[in-house]
Amino acid sequence: MDEKRMKKYGYPDGHLLYRNLSRNYPKITHGKGVYLFDEDGQCYLDAAGGALVTSVGHGNEEVAQAVFKQLTQVAYVNGMHFTSEPVERLSEKLAGYTAKAFGGEKFRSLFLCTGSEAVEAAIKFARQLHFDRGELQRSKLLVRTPSYHGNTLFALSASGRPHYQKVFQPLLNEVVTISAPYEYRSPVEDYAKNGADFYGEELEKKLQEVGPETILAFLFEPIIGSSAGASLPPSGYFEKIQKICKKYGILMIADEILCGSGRTGKFFASEHYDLKPDIVVLGKGLAGGYAPLSAILVKDSHLKEIHEASGNFMHAQTYLHHPAGAAAGCAVLDYIEKNRLIENAEKTGALLHQELHQALDSHPNVGFITGKGLLAGIEFVKDKKTKEPFARSEKFVEKFVNKALENGLTLWPNVGQADGVNGDLVMMGPSLLISHREIVKLSAKL
């Protein structure tokens, strides 16, 4: 990269608080489809979809026009005082998706901006439901490690990411933790065959330790995101977990912020496992980056209980039910439906996995490739036989991702998954409109 430009956009120059103070940032001027362009004309194939956000590509005129139209009609109304056409319409559309995925029961949506906020709102909803039922002892959240649910203090408390938590530990809340089904580093002898029993037994044991009647909800990613490289659960896992949660009255909160909104070839990743969560959280791809938008989807019957007991769900924020955010969500879903992008995610996703396996399976430093649809993770190791990771001091994945960027490919890195410190992986989650040709190009660049 050009030294002059690299010096221009990075610490200590400028006034921006850069997230990473030891790297330089290209300045992006525009994007089209799966490509981004910087001010020097360098083109990047956006394999990471930003932070696995883009779903309908960059520079999508239809979506941008819909947001613009809404902004000119009304930019903002207080969600405590008014409703608006886009929020009503988006909630109806999402109810269509939940009806198809989870059966008859009606779901209602509440719209916020970021995933972390929505995760916290979902936890508050679960707590208030138990409170209104008189089950005041249900105060503990059950989560898995590794996992990621956000960076606000409670969402961070709920995340199985020790290296993100270390500095902030005194500010975090206690949660109950079990192991996530992380296939590559699972202690189970035959993951596919024995995994469900193993993790089911661990859950039962943990519940007996802490008292199942104290647990308010189980928060989980149906397909794990960056914290475990798109790891898939073993067969029968969710059947077992769901049965146990039901037996003890533990609400299931599916965090589909990263894996939902069509990315894995179904609208909800839960659908792959016949999973019927009580609450679903969406974000990222729902508005595809055209506005900050997240949602919690809750059962109408649960809201009815709250309505009859305390009256209202006690949660609001300034940008609750933001009309322009919802307009972006509606336009993104319209575009996905019109262009059959969920089917495309399934088809091109299968090609992506085939290409990745063909190109990289035999590489001595590629430990594992996994994922579903247009979600893929690759874990790198120093020693393939022992699965020994590179020492963190080598900064393997940082170097890898920077090199890819220089070669015009964006990837999403992650570290620490092997033991809380070491571990290097990259995630891919391109826009759902990616073509076969672009998948082949992505794989070749990689």
Residue 257 · residue 294 · CB < 8 Å: yes
Q: Check if the beta carbon of residue 350 is closer than 8 Å to that of residue 439.
A: no
Upstream peptide bond of 430 is cis (omega within 30 degrees of 0): no
252 is an interface residue for ligand PLP by CB under 6 A:
no
Between CA 189 and CA 194 the distance in angstroms is 7
Q: Between 113 and 381, whose beta carbon lies closer to ligand PLP? A: 113
Least distance CB 159 / ligand PLP (angstroms): 8
The strand order across the sheet containing 412-415 reads 366-372, 375-380, 424-428, 412-415
CB of 426 to ligand PLP, least distance (A): 15
371 touches ligand PLP by CB under 6 A: no
327 interacts with ligand PLP by CB under 6 A: no
293 touches ligand PLP (CB under 6 A): no
Q: Give the residue with the Cβ less far from ligand PLP, 324 or 375.
A: 375
> Which CB sits closer to ligand PLP, 150 or 349?
150
x/- letters, 377..416, toward ligand PLP (CB under 6 A):
----------------------------------------
**Residue 260 in contact with ligand PLP, rule: CB under 6 A:** no
Tokens of 132: 């209104």
Q: Which helix H or strand E contains 30, and what residues bound it?
A: strand 28-32
Q: How many residues bind ligand PLP (CB under 6 A)?
A: 14
Residues numbered 147 to 166 that lie near ligand PLP (CB under 6 A) are: 148-150
Q: How far is the CB of 371 from ligand PLP (least distance, A)?
A: 14
Write the DSSP string, 227-271.
Answer: GGTSPPPPTTHHHHHHHHHHHTT-EEEEE-TTTTTTTTSSSSGGG
Output DSSP code: residue 102: H
Interaction of residue 323 with ligand PLP, rule CB under 6 A:
no
**With b meaning 16 or more CB within 10 Å and e meaning fewer, what string describes 109-126?**
bbbbbbbbbbbbbbbbbb
Instruction: Determine the residue with CB nearest ligand PLP.
Output: 115
One character per residue 175-204, x = contact with ligand PLP (rule: CB under 6 A) = ------------------------------
Which pair of tokens denotes residue 61?
A: 């005129």
- In whole angstroms, the minimum distance from the beta carbon of 116 to ligand PLP comes to 3
- If the CB atoms of residues 79 and 115 are measured against ligand PLP, the closer one turns out to be 115
328 interacts with ligand PLP by CB under 6 A:
no
CA distance 66 to 53: 19
Question: Which residue, 256 or 355, has its beta carbon nearer to ligand PLP?
Answer: 256
Dist. CA 340–CA 346, nearest whole Å: 10
CA–CA dist 62, 398 (Å, integer):
36
H helix intervals, 310-367:
323-338, 341-360
Q: Which of residues 100-119 bind ligand PLP (CB under 6 A)?
A: 114-116, 119
Judging by DSSP bridges, how do beta strands 294-299 and 412-415 pair with one another? Answer: unpaired
Site string for ligand PLP, 203-242 (x = CB under 6 A): ------------------x---x-----------------
CA separation for the pair 108, 75 (Å, rounded): 23
The answer to whether 283 contacts ligand PLP (rule: CB under 6 A) is: yes
Candidates 62, 20, 26, 58; CA nearest to 42 is: 26
**Count of beta carbons in the 10 Å neighbourhood of residue 15:** 4
Among 143, 219, 232, 257, binds ligand PLP (CB under 6 A): 257
The CB-of-255 to ligand PLP minimum distance in angstroms stands at 5
- Selected binder of ligand PLP within 120, 255, 379, 424 (CB under 6 A): 255
Stretch that binds ligand PLP, among 27-35, 145-153, 191-199, 297-305 (CB under 6 A): 145-153
For the four alpha carbons of 149, 153, 157 and 162, in that order, the dihedral sign comes to positive
| Minimum distance, C-beta of residue 388 to ligand PLP, in the bound complex (Å) | 27
Residues that bind ligand PLP (CB under 6 A): 51, 114-116, 119, 148-150, 221, 225, 255, 257-258, 283
